[in-house]
Amino acid sequence: MKAQVLYKTAQVEEKPLQFIDVPLPKIEKSEILIKVLACGMCLTDRHIIEGDLSLKHSPIIPGHQIVGKVEKIGESVTNFKIGEMVGVPWLFSTCSQCYYCTHGNENLCEHSEFTGRDVNGGYAQYTKAKEDFAIKLTKEINPIQFAPLLCAGIVGYRSYKLSMIKPGEHLGLFGFGSAAHIVIQIANYQGCDISVFTRGKPHQEHAKKLGAIFAGPVDKAPPKPLDSAIIFAPAGELVPFALNYLKRGGTLAFNAIHASPIPQLDYSQIYYEKKLLSVANATREDAVEFLQIAVEANVHAQVTTYPIEEANQAHIDAKNGKVTGSIVFVL
């Protein structure tokens, strides 16, 4: 099969992904072999490619927002049949036995594995998944439209939930890429006002089109204080701005698997019981909750497609802010 393989980390401008022939994945008894139809591109993929995140295995095939068809099933698989549609998210597996797994926080499992980082992912014609961590999909779904929901959607939803935002309140979104443009649709559905902080004019216009009451640079204050906020950009320097715009008792959720350092904070910026927390991965329960609300809210990803052969160029374009919404690779 053909796949985009990362042998050595480098800046995406150096085009480190190599589109080559590799063997088909071998599945174990509890796994399924999947023919990939579409794979969403995530900022985490770039962090992997550029070496911001450590790898358990090298070389690696990135990609963790995968939609495909079941091609083959392991001997103990009962939840999937050949030909069924399936989604593969970031969380590939957990130990199911540690403190975190047994207390509802499998996203924090110390023995977890992640698709496209610890095991080969979806920048390929075929990939595999564990039966218990794959998501059964209906035949009616559009693979290209659905792919971004499997990480930008699910982890974005967890960020939304952890921000403690309530219907009708004022939510701030810092950065407006794949996840934020999905979260804003949920916030709109729940009657929230949304202010978006982003540098690029196209992203600002996109935010306004999706219902933001304000969209501008981070150094421009929103029209009213924020009840909650989410940072999606991997930029620690945004934290002081977000805290300054928060109401007393407000919550700031930082959705980044890797980010630049957070500057030194004055105590006054977190006084009055303001809360700052990170968002780490997502659980299978988050996936179930999000996919239900995505249907209710009629969530749609704005998608730009690239053939998988052009994965390097897609990452360059995304890094340079040339694409709004989500990028999806078509196979």
Asked whether the beta carbons of 87 and 64 are under 8 A apart, the reply is: no
- How far apart CA 21 and CA 39 sit, in angstroms, is 18
User: Considering the domain boundaries, does residue 286 fall inside one?
Assistant: no
- How far apart CA 43 and CA 116 sit, in angstroms, is 12
The set of residues, in sequence order, having a beta carbon less than 8 Å from that of 125 and lying 6+ positions away, is 1, 2, 3, 35, 36, 331
Task: Assess whether 311 and 221 both reside in one domain.
Answer: no
Task: Assess whether 110 and 176 both reside in one domain.
Answer: no
Can you give the pLDDT at residue 56?
85
Query: Phi and psi of 38, rounded to 5°?
Result: -155, 150
Domains contained in the chain, number:
2
pLDDT tens sequence for the chain (331 residues) = 999 999 999 999 999 999 999 999 999 999 999 999 999 999 999 999 999 999 988 999 999 999 999 999 999 999 999 999 999 999 999 999 999 999 999 999 999 999 999 999 999 999 999 999 999 999 999 999 999 999 999 999 999 999 999 999 999 999 999 999 999 999 999 999 999 999 999 999 999 999 999 999 999 999 999 999 999 999 999 999 999 999 999 999 999 999 999 999 999 999 999 999 999 999 999 999 999 999 999 999 999 999 999 999 999 999 999 999 999 999 9
Task: Assess whether 170 and 127 both reside in one domain.
Answer: no
CATH number at 264 reads 3.40.50.720
Radius of gyration of the chain (CA): 19
Task: Give residue 165's domain range.
Answer: 154-278
User: Considering the domain boundaries, does residue 79 fall inside one?
Assistant: yes
Task: Assess whether 70 and 109 both reside in one domain.
Answer: yes
Task: Assess whether 124 and 168 both reside in one domain.
Answer: no
CATH number at 19 reads 3.90.180.10
Task: Supply the angle between the helices 284-296 and 152-162 in degrees, to the nearest 10.
Answer: 90
Can you give the pLDDT at residue 78?
96
- How far apart CA 164 and CA 83 sit, in angstroms, is 40
